[in-house]
Structure 1
């Protein structure tokens, strides 16, 4: 099972909306954190060098911007997990 993703967003962000819609369409669980209301999260994103939103954090990968290719890869991993130990 795929752990829920975390999506760091800003209000009125078109790429954020496109990302959450793609995650919904792929039936991937996620939590949204609004960077305008969570200053600690905002500081953390800057510390990691992200300068644009959305920032999506999965268990082993993170990215910024609308990345349907990476959403598709996570969906494929969920749908076709590799056997343990490979």
Structure 2
């Protein structure tokens, strides 16, 4: 008699918290939102022009441009389709 193998699904991957640090009228930010939306990734947007603490966090990570995307332990700046697709 064969015992069926269990298939484990990593549900934590889809539960990762994703934050997009952004500012108004940012073309790369809009492209990032659209790519995340297409993949069905939930995310929070934080406007660094209205939140001084958020701006300090972004600068503390070494970034001087937006969008800055923080996904779990990973983070990057700019529109990065390669990094975004890895989230799905």
Gaps of 5+ in 2: 1-13
TM-score normalized by the length of structure 1: 0.83
TM-score normalized by the length of structure 2: 0.81
2:80 aligned with 1:67: yes
Please give the per-residue CA displacement for 1:36-70, whole angstroms capped at 9, x wherever unaligned.
11100101111211011000001120000000001
Instruction: Indicate if the aligned counterparts of 1:5 and 1:57 stay in contact, CA closer than 8 A.
Output: yes
Give the alignment's Cα RMSD to 1 decimal: 0.8
Deviation (angstroms), 1:73: 1.0
Gaps of 5+ in 1: 76-86
- In structure 2, the partner of 1:5 is 18
Determine which structure has the larger helix proportion and give its number. Answer: 1
Which structure: larger Rg?
2
- In structure 2, the partner of 1:30 is 43
SS of aligned partner of 1:15:
helix
2:57 aligned with 1:51: no
SS of aligned partner of 1:74:
coil
